[in-house]
Structure 1
Amino acid sequence: MATRAKTTNVFGGLFRFLRKWLIRIVLLVIILPPVLTVIYSVVPPVSTLMIGRYVQFLWVDRQWVSLQDISPNLIKSVITSEDSGFCENDGVEWDALQDQVEALTDGERPRGASTITMQTAKNLFLWGDRSYVRKALEIPLALMLDAILSKKRVLEIYLNIAEWGEGIFGAEAAAQAWFGKPAKDLTRVEAARLATALPNPLGRNSANPTSGHRRLAATNIARVNAAGPIFGCVLGK
């Protein structure tokens, strides 16, 4: 009896210990993103993918620049390509998300629906592999980013942590790597090539694009020209 009671006490103590630490971990996971976001409002952040490469001692090229040092051509091309409603949404495109949920329930493979803010949330706090769990976590994180940060800061962070090639992160590193010039000097064609490379940064060479990539860039330029006043929150016009 004494041995059984002692065993019960040991397991009971272990359970209480694990429960205590589990509660602490959950609280940390809940509290950490808002705290980091406030810090990121003034401090240049790094993405989880960059951290992963640092941990593996892999090469990383990221040169932080302010939004005003990034060509308006790239800003327009990225917004048009990735999230044309960026200035109007609250970090989530609910109609697009609903369409993807309906596609999923109909047995179709959902695609897209990620806003720039959701992609920023993913890059800052989550992992790269696609999963419904990750997508579900992106939504509250994107809403939080949109509530705490200005649109300009969200876009500035995104353009400085987006991947544009193996170990190449951010607009400045991408402009230097692919075109040998600073991000502020990118032409419309160069900006369109970079913007349309974002969905597949390891498979699309912006300096030497395939014919398909060239067509995507040409379409992007046409869409930018026809976009209208969708850039006001970041360019003021």
Structure 2
Amino acid sequence: MGMARGGNKDAEAAHAPQPPAGRRRRSRWHWLWKLPLALVLLSVAQVLVLRFVDPPFTSFMAIRQFEALGAGDTGFRIAYDWRDLEAIAPSLPLSVVAAEDQDFARHRGFDIRAIERALEHNARGGRIRGGSTISQQLAKNLFLWGGRSWVRKGAEAWYTVLIETLWPKRRILEVYVNVAEFGDGIYGAQAAARSYWGKDAGALGANESARLAAVLPSPRRYSAHRPGPYVQRRARWIERNVRNLGGEAWLEALE
């Protein structure tokens, strides 16, 4: 009798109505719409946390370390030592703004005029000029990778919007001068000051700061420590632009 009841149950299950094939496929892939949402929430969480927590490393640092390991350079070490903005000589953040993004205090992450000027310049040929703001460069350095793919540029734009929305300008500048690469494997103001001049970032002079800013965004091509003619000319131009910004008063007014 037990076997008969079991057989009846199996038969009933076999003849039970099955969901249509289309519904089965939809249920199998229903989680796909959740993936973009999860990525959005993850990116928001990343940016929000780093608004208050100093980053222990960046994606660019991790990539550079893996490149060294892949090349068999097991002795390579990233130089990185965080310093709050107040512990860095004002001349360095001012030099970075003067060199990279003079409208930093006014724009919301994207400088349309700078992009248009860069496109016009590049169309004429010669040295390629970028139109990225400090916020865009920070988004790339913190979370992404190098290259010029549309995927990477799209992700950069998204992170830039988040950074500009969730962080004040002073925090953006503070993080940038701490994670920007100023030499091969040398990241941030403190590591650069110690590596090149044996001093703390708070003791950097105006010319030293201008030379550090002058090697951006090609710190492996140019040297702030032993500057060639190009870096020397650019450093002088940066020092003039720092004065045009208004010097330390500009930095003190930044919110």
Say if 2:69 is the partner of 1:59.
no
What is the RMSD computed on CA atoms of the aligned residues?
Answer: 2.8
Identity of counterpart residues, as a percentage? Answer: 33
Question: Equivalent residues in 2 for 1:100-115 (5 A)?
Answer: 111-115=129-133
Determine if contact 1:87/1:230 at 8 Å carries over to the other structure.
no
Aligned length in residues:
224
Say if 2:97 is the partner of 1:79.
yes
**Equivalent residue, structure 1, for 2:5:** none
- In structure 2, the residue corresponding to 1:226 is in which secondary structure? helix
Distance (whole Å) between structure 1 residues aligned to residue 33 and residue 61 of structure 2 = 29
**Equivalent residue, structure 1, for 2:6:** none
**Equivalent residue, structure 2, for 1:165:** 183
The higher radius of gyration belongs to 2
**Equivalent residue, structure 1, for 2:52:** 42
Distance (whole Å) between structure 2 residues aligned to residue 131 and residue 78 of structure 1 = 26
How far has the Cα of 1:228 moved from its partner? 3.4
Distance (whole Å) between structure 1 residues aligned to residue 31 and residue 194 of structure 2 = 46
How far has the Cα of 1:204 moved from its partner? 1.1
With over 3 angstroms needed to count, the CA separation of the structure-2 counterparts of 1:24 and 1:151, relative to structure 1, is same
With over 3 angstroms needed to count, the CA separation of the structure-2 counterparts of 1:190 and 1:108, relative to structure 1, is closer
**Equivalent residue, structure 2, for 1:145:** 163
Question: Equivalent residues in 2 for 1:84-123 (5 A)?
Answer: 84-98=102-116, 111-123=129-141
Distance (whole Å) between structure 1 residues aligned to residue 163 and residue 232 of structure 2 = 33
**Equivalent residue, structure 2, for 1:3:** none
Determine if contact 1:87/1:231 at 8 Å carries over to the other structure.
no
With over 3 angstroms needed to count, the CA separation of the structure-2 counterparts of 1:206 and 1:141, relative to structure 1, is same
Give unmatched runs, 5+ long, in structure 2: 1-20, 70-75
Determine if contact 1:33/1:125 at 8 Å carries over to the other structure.
no
The one-letter code matched in structure 2 to 1:52 is I
Question: Equivalent residues in 2 for 1:15-34 (5 A)?
Answer: 17=28, 19-20=29-30, 22-34=32-44
